[in-house]
Amino acid sequence: MKCFYFTKDEEGGTLSSRESKVSWVRSLSVASSSVDTRKSRSDLDSESKDFTESFEFYEFLTQRRANDLRVFSFSELKMATKGFSRGLMIGEGGFGCVYRGVVGAPCSDSNMEVAIKRLNRHGFQGHKEWINEVNFLGVVKHPNLVKLIGYCAEDDERGMQRLLVYELMRNKSLEDHLLARSAAPLSWTLRLKIAQDAARGLAYLHEEMDFQLIFRDFKPSNILLDEDFNAKLSDFGLARQGPAAGLTHVSTSVVGTVGYAAPEYVQTGRLTAKSDVWSFGVVLYELITGRRVLERNLPRAEQKLLEWVRPYVSDTKKFHFILDPRLEGHDCIKSAKRLASLANKCLSKNARSRPRMSEVVDTLENIITDAAAQAEAVSGTLKEAEHVNEEAANEEVDAKEEGREEVESGKPESNNQKWGFDFKEMVSFRNKSIGKIDWRNWTAGLVKTS
Ligand SMILES: Nc1ncnc2c1ncn2[C@@H]1O[C@H](COP(=O)(O)OP(=O)(O)OP(=O)(O)O)[C@@H](O)[C@H]1O
Ligand SMILES: [Mg+2]
């Protein structure tokens, strides 16, 4: 991860940035000792120590680790990436560079394409994240979590080599599509589906295993997309085991990415699964607006996404101002409002009031079902309009023929012909609207919404 590091002196002051990317790590023990000294007895009773880093938990994970995790040699991965060629580089994060590569498929003579992440060789933080990634991704299994194929841990004369080999996600990350201006815009339907996939991944980590995992770095660059745009979470470098049964939170260092971490976690270092729910709410607003959570290139009032959207969300008449302009014509305003209302719940100041991720999955299911029904109604209306158009064209031909007959027989032009012409004009005007996909104005009152 590219990180900002806070020291005690920097708390509340300006960030000292080692990198331009907005990840940060602050040691709670250094930065918020005042919080610790104010702990009451009940706080201590309800608090779980950071077991994730304990020897027992490491042992537990080692026993659980899938045996099919492959161990690659450094030379094998060097060859797979043509010597870590820049031409094969597909991304770069704080951990290091990510390359596309080809390795032999297991139990067969064929080859398979993979993504290979190579740790920058400086930094203890990176090494810790590498261990976390192998430990956690090695034991979790879910269609919405990226598959770790194997790893490499070798020490050569130049130092240690730490690499991770993942399934290749051909459409890279949500960040590459949503926030890179060059990419073709993601449709509304796809945005909803990606949100649902990601929510399922988090729900699995929080609620469906025999121990809870808190992801801690939920953001668009960690939501990867396969060739069919199925979304999978990646990067378990900062993941932590949740509190043990009966306890309310884990006390741990505050790590994550600026803008996505929940405020109570940043302030107290007390981590719960609801911190991920907050981050999920932030990403929902990024999906709605197509904007980053922090965007320094915008006017000051628009730089912080959550502050910028606030007045527009509470005024339904103004809501369309915050909708991603690239969604123009998607007729998604109603669905987007519902997504914003879900985001607001995830962004409740009181962590306990935020929904659980399984509840988020259910709500998204309803939003998706209703959006699909609305799309079907729109397509029905479209077909109807086409049908009316055809009929109008036929009417016009008939009217012309009648008119010709009347002219031929010396009678004046009938009203029928005039009517046929006006009606055709009206239909073609509507269809021009459809051509411009100006749904927002056109569908009101015409489309069934339930
Ligand atoms: N398995 C993969 N398949 C395809 N592309 C990938 C894969 N893993 C990562 N990438 C690409 O590499 C980029 C960098 O990923 P990486 O996880 O190293 O950093 P990041 O998530 O962008 O930033 P940070 O270091 O803050 O987490 C991703 O945004 C994505 O585009
Ligand atoms: Mg990442």
pLDDT in tens, 206-218: 999 989 999 999 9
| 75 CA to centre of ligand 2 in angstroms | 24
| Average model confidence (pLDDT) across the chain | 77
Mean pLDDT of 197-203: 98
Yes or no: say if 99 and 84 are a contact pair by the CB < 8 Å rule: yes
User: Which residues have C-beta within 8 Å of that of residue 367, sequence separation ≥ 6?
Assistant: 192, 335, 338, 339, 342
Mean pLDDT of 234-253: 90
Q: How confident is the model at residue 118 (pLDDT cuts 50, 70, 90)?
A: very high
Query: Which residues pair with residue 164 across a beta bridge?
Result: 117, 151
User: Which bound ligand lies closest to the C-alpha atom of 173?
Assistant: 1
| 173 CA to centre of ligand 2 in angstroms | 8
One-letter amino acid of 33: S
| 223 CA to centre of ligand 1 in angstroms | 9
More confident of the two residues 384 and 417: 384
Strand order in the sheet with 249-251: 47-48, 249-251, 270-271
Yes or no: say if 195 and 357 are a contact pair by the CB < 8 Å rule: no
- Among 67, 52, 198, 75, smallest CA distance to 131 is for 52
Yes or no: say if 112 and 100 are a contact pair by the CB < 8 Å rule: no
Chain segment 306-338, per-residue pLDDT in tens? 999 999 998 889 999 999 999 987 789 999 999
Atom of ligand 1 nearest to the CA of 98: 12
Please determine, for residue 447, whether its predicted confidence score (pLDDT) is greater than 50.
no
Chain segment 359-409, per-residue pLDDT in tens? 999 999 999 999 988 877 777 776 777 766 677 677 766 666 665 555 455
Please determine, for residue 76, whether its predicted confidence score (pLDDT) is greater than 80.
yes
User: Which residues have C-beta within 8 Å of that of residue 127, sequence separation ≥ 6?
Assistant: 119, 160, 162
Please determine, for residue 49, whether its predicted confidence score (pLDDT) is greater than 70.
no
More confident of the two residues 440 and 281: 281
Q: Which of 1, 170, 172, 232 to mutate to test the pocket of ligand 1 (most atoms within 8 A of CB)?
A: 172
Yes or no: say if 137 and 224 are a contact pair by the CB < 8 Å rule: no
pLDDT at position 412 is 43
Please determine, for residue 175, whether its predicted confidence score (pLDDT) is greater than 50.
yes
Which tokens belong to 395?
Answer: 């009417």
Q: How confident is the model at residue 342 (pLDDT cuts 50, 70, 90)?
A: very high
Please determine, for residue 73, whether its predicted confidence score (pLDDT) is greater than 50.
yes
pLDDT at position 398 is 67
Please determine, for residue 42, whether its predicted confidence score (pLDDT) is greater than 70.
no
Strand order in the sheet with 148-156: 70-71, 148-156, 159-167, 111-119, 96-104, 89-92
pLDDT at position 95 is 85
User: Which bound ligand lies closest to the C-alpha atom of 183?
Assistant: 1
| 342 CA to centre of ligand 1 in angstroms | 27
More confident of the two residues 431 and 183: 183
pLDDT at position 388 is 67
Q: How confident is the model at residue 105 (pLDDT cuts 50, 70, 90)?
A: confident
Atom of ligand 1 nearest to the CA of 94: 25
Please determine, for residue 245, whether its predicted confidence score (pLDDT) is greater than 90.
no
Cα–Cα distances in angstroms (integers) from residue 146 to residues 138, 173, 191, 441, in the given order: 11, 11, 19, 41
Please determine, for residue 288, whether its predicted confidence score (pLDDT) is greater than 70.
yes
400 vs 428: CA distance, rounded Å: 18
pLDDT at position 18 is 32
Q: Which of 103, 133, 221, 283 to mutate to test the pocket of ligand 1 (most atoms within 8 A of CB)?
A: 221
More confident of the two residues 181 and 226: 226
270 vs 250: CA distance, rounded Å: 6
More confident of the two residues 41 and 411: 411
End-to-end Cα spacing for the chain: 45
Q: Which of 9, 43, 210, 217 is catalytic?
A: 217
Please determine, for residue 19, whether its predicted confidence score (pLDDT) is greater than 50.
no
Mean pLDDT of 344-372: 97
Predicted structure pTM score:
0.76
217 labelled catalytic: yes
Which tokens belong to 253?
Answer: 């260092």
Listed as own residue / partner, the contacts of 48-56 with beta carbons closer than 8 Å and 24 or more positions apart are: 48/242, 48/243, 48/244, 48/247, 48/249, 48/250, 48/251, 49/250, 49/251, 50/240, 50/250, 50/251, 50/252, 50/253, 51/241, 51/244, 51/250, 52/132, 52/239, 52/240, 52/241, 52/250, 52/252
Please determine, for residue 38, whether its predicted confidence score (pLDDT) is greater than 70.
no
More confident of the two residues 137 and 80: 80
